[in-house]
Amino acid sequence: MKKVLAAIIFCNFMVSSAVSAEIKIGFVTTLTTPAAVIGEDMTNAVNLALEHLNGKAGSHKIEVVFGDDGFAPDTGKQVTDRLLKQDKVDIMAGYIWSHVLLASRKSVLDAGKILISSNAGPSQMASKLCHENFFSASWQNDQTPMAMGEVFNKVGIKSLYIMAPNYAAGKDMVAGIERTFKGQVVGKDLTKWGADAQLDFSAELAKAKVSGADGLFVFYPGAASGAFTKQYHQAGLKDLLPLYSVFTIDGISLPKLQAANFSGIVGSKVTQQWDPSLDNQANKKFVNDFKKQFGKYPSFYAAQSYDTINMIASAVTAVDGDMSDVAGLRSALKSANYNSVRGKYSYGNNNFPIQNFYLREVVEDSDGNWTTEVVDTVFKNHQDPFAADCKLK
Amino acid sequence: MDYTLLLIQVLNGLQLGVLLFLVASGLTLVFGILDFVNLAHGSIYMLGAFVCASLTYALDSYLLAVILALPIIGIIGYLFEVFLARPLYSRDHLDHVLGTFGAILVIDTIAHLIWGPAGIAIPLPNYLDGQIKISENIELPTFRVLIIIVGLLAAFGLLWLVNFTRLGMLIRAGASNRTMVSALGIDIRTLFAIVFAIGATLAGMAGMLIAPITEASLGMGNNVIITAFVVIIVGGIGSVKGALVAALLIGLIDTLGRAFLDDFFKIFMSAAAAENSAPAISSMSIYLIMALILSFKPNGLFPPKLR
């Protein structure tokens, strides 16, 4: 109901202020397949950001046109082309998946438009394929697992078994952990990914169990996370092989894991650049209003999408709605002069954030809901390892 | 070579195989006897998982939910036959594909509207959620052992039904010569509807069995249907025995490929190359096997005689 109300208020704005420019943002996410659960969280956050902005950036109305990538690179590129050519959007944002972003980047950049990733951070786009018009509102893929590797060194984990999906981001995650982890990787499995992803991990878990590793590190985002965590639980590995993960246990999977009562997950630790418990004004407002409207904690996908819209709004205000002033937009975006829910951060030469990474723990909040809270800061103002390979200054 | 690990992986392969058989048996009966290509068979599998998930939360018992969901899926299968499949029988295969592909889209969207995009995890009762110790160092999740037992029981039950009962005799006769069966005064329409409902129930059962492991999710049927087609083509279209042998074969090859291919590749190539190529090769292994078998036996392993 509130969403409808927000939409009506929003429409009123669109009718009433016809004088100023109207800014169209194309936002590509996943709205079908089981991964739509991520898309839903992102769409909610985008709509909340618009509501908080009263649908305006300065005096200019902003409108978001959503596109569905169907969890496939080819569909993602098609919908990107459609948003650019048919809907004539002024700026492109969104993108959950690294392989979708890699397939779509050329269409946007060749059209001379700004491209902002709300999630995916493939290593290629931080190094050789970096571009002055591409910005990340999230992180470079390797950074979060690098923080995890650092945690392993501190805790004293000597050997590790790794499981990740076989696609661009999965490979980055594995590379990231190997970059900082000083111990030995005793086994590694890359599993099939995409709309027909492999969800039964019996063979891999059996291998991990006999590998004798001190810990199991996984990256299974979206719907796969529930499936993986269940099977880990059913295989009785909890005491034998402690689970460490990135982008797997989050605001999306926790309510489901709680409903199925997988209590083994409480107390497990993950790394991230953002957390609902981060103490700043913007984050408090975002988390409280998100919980009020949608009845659950926002995920990091939601936080980054919320940031994306605010970041775009700050740039649109800076150029006073003149979207043809790409250089002006660029320098405004680069200054990161908006109230990010992760707190203050800056941009490196490759337009990826230089930011903190936190260690978070799964806890039960005062209402009995499972969520995460920050227990430690692993990296302060961390820059991704690819910045040096990017030609931009 | 670690033999206990090999044994565990063989059991894992067996579990995948029996699940594949439950889906493929219905597909092969419908394709073989009714000469009807049903792409939407996977959607019934998905419905089985979702209906079972909802009932589990409503009744607070997984076992009760399965017992209640099986006839519900059977009825859905029966209605599907009467309203969707029956009008398409007289048309050619392309129309079957188009019609049932449309059904997939409709059923997926209905499921999206009813259950949302998130998918539902099914909690298991405690006595199914643990592990069983088979020997000193072999331990398997209880539920996976249950899947193997239930799946094999269903498989042998179906083989008995097809080979040793009057209904089975009619089914086999229908597979061999449909016109002759109806000329002998058998109500071929009802026979077809029963076959369809049996197939749907088995597919739904597979969905109910896999859901506590991978959870009920949209599009889960579309993943399994391709592999199920591989199974029935390798096994010989219309043959239940062929479907059983092929399903176990494919299940074992897929699981063992995922488990051991990278170690095997490491014998003759670098570790990095093995790590990169093994996932790619193992995901196409079942198609390689299909190509190999079809080049020697173009009609599959056990083609029904006299078509």
- Torsions phi, psi for A106 (to 5 deg): -65, -40
Token look-up 């972003």 returns A101
| Nearest C-alpha neighbor of A393 from the set A359, A363, A350, A357 | A350
Contacts of B143 in chain A (CB under 8 A): 234
Domains annotated for chain A, with CATH where assigned, are 2-139+278-354 (3.40.50.2300), 143-272 (3.40.50.2300)
pLDDT digits (tens, 9 = 90+) for B1-26: 578 888 888 999 999 999 999 999 98
pLDDT digits (tens, 9 = 90+) for A57-110: 989 999 999 999 999 999 999 999 999 999 999 999 999 999 999 999 999 999
pLDDT digits (tens, 9 = 90+) for A103-159: 999 999 999 999 999 999 999 999 999 999 999 999 999 999 999 999 999 989 999
**pTM of the prediction?**
0.83
pLDDT digits (tens, 9 = 90+) for A325-363: 999 999 999 999 999 999 999 999 999 999 999 999 999
Report CB contact under 8 Å: B121, A33. no
Rg for chain B, CA atoms, rounded: 20
Neighbours of A391 (CB within 10 A): 11
Report CB contact under 8 Å: B143, A234. yes
Whether chain A has a CB inside 8 Å of the CB on B185: the answer is no
Q: CB-based contacts of B146: which residues, under 8 Å, 6+ apart? A: B128
The reported pLDDT for the residue numbered A281 is 94
pLDDT at A223 > cutoff 90: no
Report CB contact under 8 Å: B218, A36. yes
Contacts of A203 in chain B (CB under 8 A): 9, 12-13, 255-256, 258-259
Tell me how close the Cα of B33 comes to any Cα of chain A, in angstroms: 29
- Torsions phi, psi for A109 (to 5 deg): -70, -35
Q: What span, in angstroms and rounded, lies between the C-alpha atoms of B214 and B212?
A: 6
Token look-up 């009807």 returns B36
Report CB contact under 8 Å: A32, B131. no
The reported pLDDT for the residue numbered B1 is 52
Contacts of B279 in chain A (CB under 8 A): 166, 189-192
The reported pLDDT for the residue numbered A283 is 96
Task: Give the single-character DSSP code of A37.
Answer: H
Whether chain A has a CB inside 8 Å of the CB on B165: the answer is no
Neighbours of B61 (CB within 10 A): 13
| Contact of B202 with B23, CB cutoff 8 Å | yes
Within 58-117 of B, beta carbons closer than 8 Å to A belong to 112, 116-117
A238 class by beta-carbon count within 10 Å (0-12 exposed, 13-18 middle, 19+ buried): middle
Whether chain A has a CB inside 8 Å of the CB on B119: the answer is yes
Q: What span, in angstroms and rounded, lies between the C-alpha atoms of B165 and B171?
A: 10
Contacts of A188 in chain B (CB under 8 A): 275
Report CB contact under 8 Å: A195, B222. yes
Helix (H, G, I), strand (E, B) or coil at A117: strand
pLDDT confidence tier of residue B267, bands split at 50, 70 and 90: confident
A/B interface, count of CB pairs below 8 Å: 121
The reported pLDDT for the residue numbered B153 is 94
pLDDT at A18 > cutoff 80: no
| Contact of A226 with A256, CB cutoff 8 Å | yes
Residue of B nearest to A209 (CA): B5
pLDDT at B205 > cutoff 70: yes
Sheet with strand A56-57: strands edge to edge: A56-57, A60-68, A22-29, A91-94, A114-117, A134-136
The reported pLDDT for the residue numbered B183 is 87
| Contact of A209 with A243, CB cutoff 8 Å | no
